[in-house]
């Protein structure tokens, strides 16, 4: 569609006729992301608050559809790319966030760890260096004061604030470990996402929410016993990125529910259903 046609269509959002408005809204929705710059320009050039609100709603509808499509495509073709998943979820709140921005930050963290690595380091020593860089030098830590803040599930915000929940801190740890070719994976414990270093018959666990403290299978057993939960293989073995996607979206649902943002709870549930 030509520029003038799009501009004329956007102007019709001011029409008070509900049928006209709905028709225009649907048409803009079908056109997709290409109309967003025109909508933003119109928003900036009007003082009509109702018109601005209508524009905001249409932009959100378009970008939410884009996010849904992006997550579906990731699930089908790119589910081995954890970084892309974390970026996509963050665009729910930060639609202008660039993937390259997140990649650059993770790459710098990787370099900071890699520069301290030496040949033939034992697994425990590898993890100690990772812990030292991420938690002592970079100062990543648990956000215990605002545990249910939605920002804790947004990779960009966690990289900026250096505070997050078990899943985002664990995911950052995991991204750096993967870049280092270390056999570190996520583990879906109840109420706590942790990591495991696993190669052949050698395995131990890492809690990124507690500065990378190392623990054993026996301690997982004790943890499950305290929760009165029957042990299951999923509590000890690596999970995949689809599991991480579901857990992160469930975390967001809880966060928005506690914040009283019912519309966002409904939308995140729609995103979660992509993976169910």
| Pairwise CA distance, residues 234 & 237, whole Å | 5
Are residues 122 and 249 part of one domain?
yes
CATH number, domain containing residue 114: 3.10.620
Are residues 46 and 32 part of one domain?
yes
- Domain ends where: 77, 107, 139? 77
Are residues 63 and 27 part of one domain?
yes
Residue 199 pLDDT level (bands cut at 50, 70, 90): very high
Residue 9 pLDDT level (bands cut at 50, 70, 90): confident
Are residues 106 and 213 part of one domain?
yes
Number of Cβ within a 10 Å radius of residue 117 = 13
Q: Nearest-CA neighbor of 58 among 89, 27, 88, 87?
A: 27
Q: Nearest-CA neighbor of 1 among 23, 22, 30?
A: 30
Q: Nearest-CA neighbor of 164 among 185, 189, 186, 135?
A: 135
Are residues 19 and 118 part of one domain?
no
Are residues 94 and 65 part of one domain?
no
Are residues 208 and 175 part of one domain?
yes
Identify the weakest region by mean pLDDT among 30-34, 186-190, 238-242.
30-34
Are residues 87 and 65 part of one domain?
no
Helices (H), 78-131: 82-90, 99-114, 123-131
Domain that holds residue 28: 3-77
Number of Cβ within a 10 Å radius of residue 200 = 6
3 state SS of 231:
coil
DSSP 128-189: HHHHIIIIIIS--EE--TTTT-GGGG-HHHHHHHSEE-HHHHHHHHHHHHHHTT--EEEEEE
Are residues 161 and 98 part of one domain?
yes
Per-residue pLDDT for 145 more than 90? yes
Number of Cβ within a 10 Å radius of residue 116 = 12
Are residues 97 and 17 part of one domain?
no
- Residue 274 has what pLDDT? 98
* Mean pLDDT of the residues in the chain: 94
CATH number, domain containing residue 44: 1.25.10
Are residues 207 and 142 part of one domain?
yes
* Number of structural domains the chain divides into: 2
Q: Nearest-CA neighbor of 259 among 270, 271, 251?
A: 251
- Domain ends where: 31, 56, 77? 77
Residue 252 pLDDT level (bands cut at 50, 70, 90): very high
- Residue 10 has what pLDDT? 85
- Domain ends where: 27, 58, 77? 77
Identify the weakest region by mean pLDDT among 18-27, 219-228, 253-262.
18-27
Q: Give the DSSP letter of residue 272.
A: H
Exposure of 89 by Cβ count < 10 A (0-12 exposed, 13-18 middle, 19+ buried)?
A: buried
Are residues 171 and 39 part of one domain?
no
- Residue 269 has what pLDDT? 98
Cα separations (Å) of 20 from 15, 27, 146, 238? 7, 11, 44, 53
Overall average pLDDT of the 177-200 stretch: 96
Cα angle at 244 between 219 and 76, to 5 degrees?
145
Cα separations (Å) of 53 from 35, 44, 114, 132, 205? 16, 12, 48, 48, 49
């Amino acid at each position: 569609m030509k520029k003038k046609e799009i501009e004329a269509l956007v102007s019709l959002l001011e029409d008070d006729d509900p049928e006209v408005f709905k028709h225009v809204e649907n048409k803009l929705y079908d056109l997709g992301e290409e109309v967003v710059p025109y909508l933003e320009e119109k928003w900036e050039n009007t003082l009509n608050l109702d018109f601005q609100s209508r524009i905001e709603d249409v932009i959100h509808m378009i970008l939410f559809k884009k996010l849904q499509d992006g997550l579906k495509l990731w699930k089908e073709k790119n589910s081995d790319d954890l970084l892309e998943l974390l970026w996509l979820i963050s665009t729910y709140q930060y639609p202008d966030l660039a993937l390259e921005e997140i990649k650059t930050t993770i790459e710098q963290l990787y370099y900071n760890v890699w520069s301290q690595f030496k040949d033939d380091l034992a697994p425990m020593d590898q993890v100690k260096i990772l812990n030292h860089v991420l938690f002592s030098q970079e100062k990543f830590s648990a956000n215990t004061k605002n545990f249910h803040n939605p920002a804790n599930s947004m990779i960009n915000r966690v990289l900026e604030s250096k505070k997050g929940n078990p899943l985002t801190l664990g995911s950052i740890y995991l991204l750096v470990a993967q870049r280092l070719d270390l056999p570190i994976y996520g583990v879906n414990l109840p109420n706590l996402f942790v990591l495991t270093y696993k190669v052949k018959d050698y395995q131990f666990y890492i809690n990124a929410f507690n500065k990378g403290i190392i623990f054993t299978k026996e301690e997982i057993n004790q943890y499950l016993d305290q929760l009165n939960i029957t042990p299951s293989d999923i509590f000890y073995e690596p999970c995949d990125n689809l599991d991480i996607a579901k857990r992160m979206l469930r975390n967001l649902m809880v966060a928005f529910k506690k914040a009283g943002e019912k519309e966002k709870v409904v939308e995140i549930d729609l995103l979660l259903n992509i993976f169910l």
